[in-house]
Amino acid sequence: MSYIVLVSGFVLLIGSGDLLVRGATALALRLGIPTLIVGLTVVAFGTSAPELMVSMRAALDGAPGIAIGNVVGSNIANILLVLGFPALFYATDCCAPHVRRNAVFMIGATVVFVVLCFLGPLSFWHGALLFFLIVVFLIVSGLSASKQMAENQEKRKASDGGPDGPLRMESAQTAWPFIVGFTVLGLIGLPFGAGMVVDGASAIARGFGIEEAAIGLTLVAFGTSLPELTTTLIAVLRRHGGIVIGSVIGSNLFNLLAVMGLTAMVTPVPVPVHILEVDLWVMLAAALVVVPITFLKLPITRVPAIFMVLAYGLYIAFVFTSSSPGQPVKTVKVSMSNPQ
């Protein structure tokens, strides 16, 4: 029964996330926002909505291992699997504008998150700092989007003699009922799917004596990363490299800053010892993989993609083999005399 609940929750999460992404992307396209900015903000936030729902529900239900393991595991999966798997079929171009700046944002956010975890458990003030950083990122991205939109409008005027030609087609394909309907359905379905995933995963972990953190790092993280994987695979097939690298970088930023920021502001999140000792460093190493890709503007071809996917497989195998069956989830505790 737990497996049925888990799979049903994933199906609802993926379907709801897809509806939310479709509605939000249609809204962005209607407003004329560039694809890189769409990937970094709208698509990234939409595909990170399952992580937000799952982590917040898990933390409130007293399953911190799933809450933080979901985010850490999803960020590892986003780099190694979501970027690597589509490149097995077609090389991914990572030459989109501003991608290096956003890669620096992501690495910096990862470093800050690692430091805060060692000062944990993550409390309200830790979460507030993380959420402040995502607000800064959105402001910077918004300013960049405004500048690029102005430049695009000037190009349209110069190319077709007026600003209305290409926009009429976009408006016909992005009607307001479509935008509102898909967005609302996605927002309604996500919390229900998240609850089913957390309930099913927790029951499976208890049944096999596996630490909840291991389930969060692997099964739950993979499931909540499926929207990103689907989005990037479609984008690669359609040769939209800006959406691919943008959605991955943006999703990782939202996971660390918005998902964990909001979750920590709602309830304290203890950090399991295994995540402190191993998984945070794997996440940081995975984040550094984007440095040569973005700074040298190297496409992700089949050979590096194979290594990325294999590395993810080895990591998953390590998590399960190192998890101690029958042992309770160990967490870092602070003295009650040190209020958070």
Given this model, what pLDDT does residue 338 score?
Answer: 38
Q: Is residue 79 part of a domain?
A: yes
Given this model, what pLDDT does residue 28 score?
Answer: 66
Task: State the CB neighbour count (10 A cutoff) for residue 249.
Answer: 31
Q: Is residue 332 part of a domain?
A: no
Q: Is residue 218 part of a domain?
A: yes
Q: Is residue 196 part of a domain?
A: yes
Q: Is residue 169 part of a domain?
A: no
Contacting residues for 104 by C-beta, under 8 A, at least 6 apart: none
Which ranges constitute the DSSP H helices of the chain? 2-30, 35-37, 44-60, 64-77, 84-87, 99-118, 124-160, 165-173, 176-208, 212-215, 221-237, 241-253, 260-266, 273-274, 280-288, 290-295, 302-322
Q: Is residue 138 part of a domain?
A: yes
Q: Is residue 170 part of a domain?
A: no
Q: Is residue 141 part of a domain?
A: yes
Given this model, what pLDDT does residue 90 score?
Answer: 78
Q: Which domain holds residue 120?
A: 2-161+175-321
Q: Which residues of the chain have pLDDT under 50?
A: 162-172, 326-340
Given this model, what pLDDT does residue 340 score?
Answer: 35
Given this model, what pLDDT does residue 334 score?
Answer: 30
Given this model, what pLDDT does residue 326 score?
Answer: 43
Looking at the 3D structure of the chain, how many domains does it have? 1
Q: The CATH number of the domain where 288 resides is what?
A: 1.20.1420.30
Q: Which residue has the tokens 């300013």?
A: 143
Task: State the CB neighbour count (10 A cutoff) for residue 115.
Answer: 11
